[in-house]
Structure 1
């Protein structure tokens, strides 16, 4: 489906980073927004900024998406309003820590936020999306396509997200529901600034990256353009996409280059 002034869009993780950029672009393109985030203060502030222009087009809900009952209440509230056209599963967390040193609770937390929550929210919203002929947009990562040192849990969660929604795509294709998988690489957003360390506290070392670090605004424009074209997948960064091909065609070479580029992770 393509967007118009009647499009009702739910965005998770909407109070900062890519989620906030997606909200601003969607608002500019006429969408009615339902914004969700666990940061109550930031969410209220960002929602008020948009509502100052048109209060009828913005509602918001403070929510921890890993809270199942709270998530169910959100779906009930949306159903009571009667419509949902686009669900954007954007909220996420990451970690920077070697797998062998990482407390399993960190992996559990990353999987809960990055895989379990978007899957459960989507399943709850499927009847609404079926009624509207809507679309699910998932913010995945190129880390789900290729290994990245120090991100074992994050890579696993994003790979699981991609596989689940590719299967779901085929299962709901005859029901009029579209799925857009978005695979960014490195973005200048709070997800990396707030990365977990091996013990669940803040990561102690700076992140490593390859290619150009893009802005959230750059990414948001491309996501909405892909949605309006009806794309199924978006690989916005050519350099990282080529790196993912290298991983598939020459995995040993990829590993050698990755260990060199991400040496900071091995020393952490």
Structure 2
């Protein structure tokens, strides 16, 4: 029997990019999918799409930065589905602006969604996960271990996730709840099209991806296979261990060279003043 058949998988930011691909992949593996997102129209359409493919899916409107709303949402999932076996903290936003020009509100909003959103969801789902001896999968980034150009708020939020979930893994060891951090490389999603500018507004100059990018479906498939093996850390193949080792052992060189080259954003766009 497939590992995730009849298991409840809750996915935040479920309607776009990697979240959508994860819902499809785990659903194809027999899981029941709890879709969490802030876009009601997309939630309804995607739930219908999954149902048409014989995937058991239910939609939940949820702003992960709102702890009361998150708590209510996860209680509803437990009431509806009876268990929470896998939590995938996928919801996230980014920005593209230099530190000196970036309004503090951008840092707060980025942390509210990327860090506190994962924290709220994990706390709300924790009792259910302990009861099912389940899994927590949290989407980090290359930014979780390496500096990237004009992404200081985003990088800070991802570093914070590593600190939180590395510690949580230790605390949950005796309860048989598994924790995995995932660091995708550059992936063809809409996150860059909706990047915040220095003043907190959404960019009207969508960032152009450069370099090797992978697809959300490929990312979801790697995560699915890693979840089956209960890995602690998954670094995607288009980043690989060498970039992580380079960033850790030779940070000065990495910052001077790779931080400019390996950003996923074209040089002309990096030089724009937003």
Q: The TM-score by the shorter chain falls in which range? A: over 0.9
- Once residues 113 and 4 of structure 2 are traced to their aligned partners in structure 1, the CA distance between those partners, rounded to angstroms, is 30
TM-score, normalised via structure 1 length: 0.93
Mapping 1:191-206, distance limit 5 Å: 191-205=191-205
Mapping 1:203-214, distance limit 5 Å: 203-205=203-205, 207=207, 211-214=211-214
Compared CA separation, residues 240 and 225, structure 1 to 2 (3 A): closer
CA deviation vs aligned residue, 1:1-37 (integer Å, no higher than 9, x gap): x733111100011111000000011111110010010
Tell me if the contact between 2:115 and 2:158 (Cα under 8 Å) persists in the aligned partners.
Answer: yes
Q: Quick check: 162-171 or 199-208, which moved more?
A: 199-208
- Once residues 5 and 244 of structure 1 are traced to their aligned partners in structure 2, the CA distance between those partners, rounded to angstroms, is 34
* TM-aligned CA deviation for residue 140 of structure 1: 0.6
Compared CA separation, residues 244 and 204, structure 1 to 2 (3 A): farther
Mapping 1:1-268, distance limit 5 Å: 3-54=3-54, 57-81=56-80, 82-205=82-205, 207=207, 211-239=211-239, 241-258=241-258, 260-261=260-261, 263-264=267-268, 265-268=270-273
Tell me if the contact between 2:33 and 2:57 (Cα under 8 Å) persists in the aligned partners.
Answer: yes
* TM-aligned CA deviation for residue 78 of structure 1: 2.0
Secondary structure of 1:190 counterpart: coil
TM-score, normalised via structure 2 length: 0.91
- Once residues 37 and 62 of structure 1 are traced to their aligned partners in structure 2, the CA distance between those partners, rounded to angstroms, is 5
CA-based RMSD of the aligned residues comes to 1.8
Tell me if the contact between 2:184 and 2:239 (Cα under 8 Å) persists in the aligned partners.
Answer: no
- Once residues 101 and 108 of structure 2 are traced to their aligned partners in structure 1, the CA distance between those partners, rounded to angstroms, is 14
Q: Name the structure with the higher helix share.
A: 1
Aligned pairs, number: 266
CA deviation vs aligned residue, 1:54-109 (integer Å, no higher than 9, x gap): 37x11111121112221111122123232110000000000000010001101100
Tell me if the contact between 1:141 and 1:183 (Cα under 8 Å) persists in the aligned partners.
Answer: yes
Secondary structure of 2:191 counterpart: helix
* TM-aligned CA deviation for residue 258 of structure 1: 3.5
Tell me if the contact between 1:149 and 1:258 (Cα under 8 Å) persists in the aligned partners.
Answer: no
Compared CA separation, residues 260 and 88, structure 1 to 2 (3 A): closer
* TM-aligned CA deviation for residue 152 of structure 1: 0.1
- Once residues 161 and 244 of structure 2 are traced to their aligned partners in structure 1, the CA distance between those partners, rounded to angstroms, is 17
Gap regions ≥5 residues in structure 2: none
Gap regions ≥5 residues in structure 1: none
- The structure with higher relative contact order (CA 8 Å, sep 6+) is 1
- Once residues 260 and 107 of structure 2 are traced to their aligned partners in structure 1, the CA distance between those partners, rounded to angstroms, is 25
* TM-aligned CA deviation for residue 175 of structure 1: 0.5
Tell me if the contact between 1:34 and 1:59 (Cα under 8 Å) persists in the aligned partners.
Answer: yes
